[in-house]
Amino acid sequence: MRRGVIILIMLLSASFANAQEINFINSLADRKVVTFEDGVKMFLYTLGKAPAGFDADVAYLKGLKLLKARSYDKDRPLSRGMLALMVTRQLKLKGSLFFLIFDTERYAHRACVAENIMAASTSELDRLTGDELLEVMAVVGDRMEVKK
């Protein structure tokens, strides 16, 4: 898995213009728990957009209908379910009938499991490590490229 993260970092590094972005991605690999803000930044990088500050980034993702709540705590640990919710909305996954009805983290996680984006042995309540975030976002980036 570490090798996959290094490859992802190298691929993403080629597309980033400044060292601050590269440093952010490199620092994620060592994190035991990532924050919601880290997840938002990484999601923006995967979409090919440079972050512009937490509030602006959240507003952008709300505009894409990837986020829907009124407010978010940037320091809150990122759960696998929250990431799954953004991923499922972005990729328009239909792997869970209950997600299509309820649009919740629980069923978004199940849709990601059905699509082999996340492992079946995981839970939507799990806190993500930096490696796990990078791994999921690498799959998301690949899936977005295929849909183009």
Q: Residue 26 has what pLDDT?
A: 86
Q: What are the structural domain ranges in the chain? A: 2-147
pTM: 0.84
Neighbours of 29 (CB within 10 A): 16
Tens of pLDDT, residues 18-38: 667 778 888 898 899 999 999
Bigger pLDDT: 103 or 43? 43
Over the range 128-141, which residues count as b (16 or more CB within 10 Å of their CB) and which as e?
bbbbbbbbbbbbbb
Q: Residue 16 has what pLDDT?
A: 47
Q: Residue 5 has what pLDDT?
A: 56
Tens of pLDDT, residues 67-124: 999 999 999 999 999 999 999 999 999 877 877 788 889 999 999 999 999 999 999 9
